[in-house]
Amino acid sequence: LKRILPLLLAALAALSACGPALDDSATANTVAANITPADVVPALAIVPEGGAGLAEIAGGPVTINAQEGLVFPILEVRDPWYGVVDTCGREAWVDQSSVTTVSRSTPGVPGPGFDLSSAVIVVDAGHGGRDLGAKGASGVWESHVNLEIATLLRERLDNPHSVDWETGRVRPGDDYPAVGAVWMTRAPDGPLNGDVELALSYRVGMGNQVGADAIVSVHNNSAPGVVSSSPGTDVFYAVGAPGSDRLASLIHEEMMRGLGELGSEFGAARVTGARTRVEPDGTDFYGLLRRGEMPTVIVEGLYISEPAEERILSSRVGQQAYADAVYRGLIRFLTSEETGTAIHPPEVFDGDVGTVTYQACVVPTQP
């Protein structure tokens, strides 16, 4: 079941070159990702073989035949339609009979005794489609690397694994069972092989609607021309979603351990620990985090603009180390009450990172 749907799609980039993440202005006022009535049971609509028609208004004419394999967060039920958020972050309506659905889960309470086999994790590979994210020193695109890492992370979560906590090694084993479900916002076995533009409201809407235990957005950073030493890992947490800070702290700790062994030489003076940026009013700066209702984090693993870190990110060993680190962080978050190295208070951020708008975003259509 969990594999039938991994999918995804596109729009905005959370943190492009340099991290700062923007917002989807085109969609911000169109669909509120958190208008979920508590009594809505169907959480995700899955487009079956042959596609499914989307209309702009309930009962209106179909304007798009959405591609099979797409998954849409369901925001409203108005028989016989579902109101969903499409991949571009727009409100759309689909006939209930034309899709299958997944019900909303009730998140568990992290700590000793947590049932991993019922956990639901959303793995978001940052960027996609025309939104390529940051560019590496030799031309490797963040979007593509993020997808590789996210897919490796899915494999870890989707199968039973053991962890050697001394060395950090993750291998097939029976210490930790497969989680109940992994949803990828975009995946190599999904529409357009995962190279799809996705709106932030779509990405986080998937996690909010399905009742995810955690939403992890995989990114890499960029700061052309800057040179330093030690891994430049940042993990940002959602101020408004309880548990996000602890999740970020644990993932950060595991990232520093896992990537620090790979010879990275960037970012010596960087803040060590989980952090986040907020607007002057205290709300999350990053659009993805601002919308997160479940524990939500953005992992900025390495600086792809740094040649040494780009090489790590381009290597299978490096991608696996990144995926393993996030996996360990998730396992610790779910099965313990540890808080990790440090959780830094929010930093007011007034940098001008602009707002990216994909006016021409298109939902993948059935070929």
Positions touching Zn ion (CB under 5 A) are 15, 126, 133, 219
Q: Which residue is nearest to Zn ion (CB)?
A: 219
Of 219 and 328, the one with the shorter C-beta distance to Zn ion is: 219
Strand partners for 72: 45
Say which residue the tokens 């992890």 belong to.
216
Of 98 and 185, the one with the shorter C-beta distance to Zn ion is: 185
Of 126 and 231, the one with the shorter C-beta distance to Zn ion is: 126
Rounded least distance, CB 21 to Zn ion, Å: 7
Name the token pair of 218: 């995989």
Of 44 and 149, the one with the shorter C-beta distance to Zn ion is: 149
Rounded least distance, CB 134 to Zn ion, Å: 6
Of 133 and 273, the one with the shorter C-beta distance to Zn ion is: 133
Q: Which residues of 278-287 are buried (b: 16+ CB within 10 A; e: fewer)?
A: beeeeebbbb
Of 126 and 267, the one with the shorter C-beta distance to Zn ion is: 126
Rounded least distance, CB 15 to Zn ion, Å: 4
Task: Identify the DSSP state of 295.
Answer: S
Name the token pair of 360: 């021409």
Rounded least distance, CB 62 to Zn ion, Å: 34
Strand ranges in 279-335 using DSSP code E only, listed in sequence order: 296-303
Rounded least distance, CB 158 to Zn ion, Å: 24
Output the CA torsion sign for 347, 353, 354, 357: negative
Q: Are 124 and 163 in contact (CB under 8 A)?
A: no
Cβ-based neighbour number of residue 346 at 10 Å:
18
Rounded least distance, CB 50 to Zn ion, Å: 34
Q: Which residues of 58-94 are buried (b: 16+ CB within 10 A; e: fewer)?
A: beeebebbbbbbbbbbbbbbeeebbbbbbbbbbbbbb
Annotate 81-150 with DSSP letters as a single string: EEEEE-TTS-EEEEEGGG-EEEEPP-----STT--GGG-EEEEEE--BTTB---B-TTS-BHHHHHHHHH
Of 126 and 340, the one with the shorter C-beta distance to Zn ion is: 126
Rounded least distance, CB 90 to Zn ion, Å: 22
Rounded least distance, CB 16 to Zn ion, Å: 6
β pairing state of 169-172 and 161-164:
antiparallel
Of 16 and 65, the one with the shorter C-beta distance to Zn ion is: 16
Rounded alpha-carbon distances, angstroms, from residue 367 to 41, 61, 93: 31, 20, 20
